[in-house]
């Protein structure tokens, strides 16, 4: 996948409403403290399902807004509650915490 849109970006037209529900943009996660709470929104892509040693499902996916993208991790408890909403191309708002690791930032959904 190239990450390019042939037509308009799917978030165009709802960016104002999405922005009102979010506390930061995806690039803004870099400026937030590690483990701080935030609410982000965007469109889901690249969903990967993995399992814990105990056999519980975890989800990893890319969330993209109009300014950037980041990987979101959902642990089993979150997957049990919100897993059905995680679909390719779904527009979502996610609350969780920032996870700085070396030269990358991830978002832990809660």
Give residue-wise pLDDT tens across range 54-96. Answer: 999 999 999 999 999 999 999 999 999 999 999 999 999 999 9
Asked whether residue 1 is domain-assigned, the answer is no
DSSP category for residue 12: T
Question: Cα(34)–Cα(51) distance, rounded to whole angstroms?
Answer: 25
Asked whether residue 54 is domain-assigned, the answer is yes
Res. 7: pLDDT tops 70:
no
Residue keyed to tokens 């499902």: 57
Question: Cα(53)–Cα(64) distance, rounded to whole angstroms?
Answer: 29
Indicate the length of the chain as a whole number.
110
Asked whether residue 6 is domain-assigned, the answer is no
Asked whether residue 42 is domain-assigned, the answer is yes
Asked whether residue 98 is domain-assigned, the answer is yes
**Is 47 within 8 Å of 61 (Cβ atoms)?**
yes
Average confidence (pLDDT) over 40-54:
97
Res. 24: pLDDT tops 80:
yes
Could you tell me which of 7, 60, 15, 23 has the C-alpha nearest to residue 42? 15
Strand pairing report for 104-109 and 37-51: unpaired
Domain of 42 in residue numbering reads as 15-109
CATH code: domain of residue 46: 2.40.50.140
Asked whether residue 9 is domain-assigned, the answer is no
Planar angle of CA 80, 83, 84, nearest 5 degrees: 120
Domain total in the chain = 1
DSSP category for residue 25: -
DSSP category for residue 110: -
Res. 31: pLDDT tops 50:
yes
Residue keyed to tokens 């509650």: 81
pTM: 0.88
């Amino acid at each position: 996948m190239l990450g390019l849109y042939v037509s308009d970006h799917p978030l165009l037209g709802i960016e104002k409403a999405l922005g009102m529900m979010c506390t930061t943009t995806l690039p803004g996660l870099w400026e937030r403290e590690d483990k701080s709470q935030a609410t982000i929104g965007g469109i889901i892509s690249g969903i990967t399902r993995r399992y814990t040693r105990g056999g519980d499902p975890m989800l990893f996916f890319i969330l993209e807004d109009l300014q950037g993208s980041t990987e979101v991790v959902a642990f089993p408890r979150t997957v049990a509650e919100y897993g059905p909403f995680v679909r390719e191309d779904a527009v979502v708002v996610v609350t969780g915490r920032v996870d700085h690791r070396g030269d990358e930032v991830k978002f832990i959904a809660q």
